[in-house]
């Protein structure tokens, strides 16, 4: 609803800053719709064809949102550069009123979405859209006040460029984070060496190798590893030990899905890998 108000105000009052914010808000409306649709799709259970489920739909949507942000910001910067050569007079009072309303709408929306932004990449993408819009509204207000108080034409395009640069920064972060997920990089803030050492430090664990950590969906860390247990255990006891290790990984590192292959000894091909990964644990050499 406010998008319609902002577009009308931009054309009516001749403000590029308002139009810049409106262009971004068009991307926001699309982004929020995509984010909602992706969140709904991600809740669908796995199928025979999609055995991991649809969690990465949110990641794909996050990438699409980043591209929308980039495109909108670049279009506004081009128009702002053109306006430096042909200044436009704006209705400062009208721009100020629309900017204040926009600030209230964006701050309120960002507060709602922000409750989930720290645990979900898709929600974080929507949140950054709204935060950038809130800053954009501040820039619109500043442009209106500058025009009313100092009667200068360049403040409005400058404000639109400032908005666009903030949008580009948010888009870059979103694109970077979503690409890392698709490339199955280690989740941000998770130290693989610390995870390896934690497993190796558990009682009865003599070696850890072939350890991989990645993100399955939006923010769900997964791990797979081979764990060599020193004692001769029954299959039942080995399974119980694996359950304990998985619980430790969940409690200490928030790893939701762990697949551990427990072994009584490492194969020959793995020995070199184990030794190269664990140089500080001298007793791991003795276990082979």
- Condensed to tens digits (0 to 9), the pLDDT of residues 67-78 reads 877 887 887 788
Token pair listed for 168: 């580009």
In this model, does residue 191 exceed pLDDT 70? Answer: yes
For 78, the 3-state DSSP assignment is: helix
Say what the pLDDT of residue 283 is: 43
**Torsion angle in degrees (nearest 10) through CA of 82, 83, 86, 92:** 170
CA distance 219 to 48: 23
In this model, does residue 137 exceed pLDDT 50? Answer: yes
Neighbours of 81 (CB within 10 A): 11
Residues 96 and 142 in one domain: yes
Query: Environment class of residue 41 by beta-carbon count within 10 Å: exposed (0-12), middle (13-18) or buried (19+)?
Result: middle
Q: What is the pLDDT of residues 25-48, one digit of tens each?
A: 776 777 777 777 777 877 788 888
Question: Among the three residues 182, 211, 246, which one is the final residue of a domain in this structure?
Answer: 182
Say if residues 204 and 229 touch (Cβ distance below 8 Å): yes
Residues 62 and 155 in one domain: yes
Residues 140 and 205 in one domain: no
Say what the pLDDT of residue 120 is: 66
Residue at 187 is within a domain: no
Closest CA to 52 of 259, 210, 242, 260: 259
Say what the pLDDT of residue 199 is: 92
Token pair listed for 79: 């128009």
Residue at 54 is within a domain: yes
Residue-range definition of the domain harbouring residue 270: 192-286
Residues 118 and 225 in one domain: no
Residues 84 and 218 in one domain: no
Neighbours of 261 (CB within 10 A): 12
Residues 116 and 48 in one domain: yes
Q: Which residue has the higher pLDDT, 225 or 215?
A: 225
Distance of CA 268 to the CA centre of its chain: 40
Closest CA to 9 of 104, 96, 72, 78: 96
């Amino acid at each position: 609803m406010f998008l319609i108000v902002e577009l009308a105000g931009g054309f009516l009052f001749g403000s590029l800053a308002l139009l810049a914010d409106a262009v971004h808000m068009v991307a926001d409306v699309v982004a929020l719709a995509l984010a909602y649709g992706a969140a709904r799709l991600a809740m669908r259970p796995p199928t025979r064809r999609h055995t991991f489920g649809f969690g990465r739909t949110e990641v794909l949507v996050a990438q699409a949102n980043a591209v929308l942000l980039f495109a909108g910001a670049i279009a506004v910067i081009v128009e702002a550069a053109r306006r430096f050569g042909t200044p436009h007079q704006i209705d400062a009072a009208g721009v100020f009123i629309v900017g204040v309303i926009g600030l209230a709408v964006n701050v309120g929306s960002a507060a709602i979405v922000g409750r989930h932004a720290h645990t979900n990449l898709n929600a974080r993408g929507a949140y950054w859209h709204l935060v950038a819009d809130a800053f954009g509204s501040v820039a619109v207000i500043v442009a209106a006040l500058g025009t009313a108080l100092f009667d200068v034409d360049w403040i409005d395009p400058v404000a639109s460029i400032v908005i666009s640069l903030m949008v580009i920064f948010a888009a870059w972060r979103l694109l970077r984070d979503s690409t890392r997920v698709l490339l199955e990089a280690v989740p941000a803030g998770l130290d693989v060496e610390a995870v390896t050492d934690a497993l190796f430090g558990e009682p009865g664990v003599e070696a850890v190798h072939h350890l991989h950590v990645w993100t399955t969906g939006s923010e769900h860390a997964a791990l797979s590893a081979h764990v060599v247990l020193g004692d001769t255990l029954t299959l039942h006891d080995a399974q119980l030990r694996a359950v304990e290790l998985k619980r430790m990984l969940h409690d200490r590192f928030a790893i939701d899905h762990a697949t551990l292959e427990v072994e009584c000894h490492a194969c020959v091909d793995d020995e070199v890998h184990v030794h190269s990964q664990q140089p500080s644990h001298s007793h791991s050499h003795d276990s082979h």
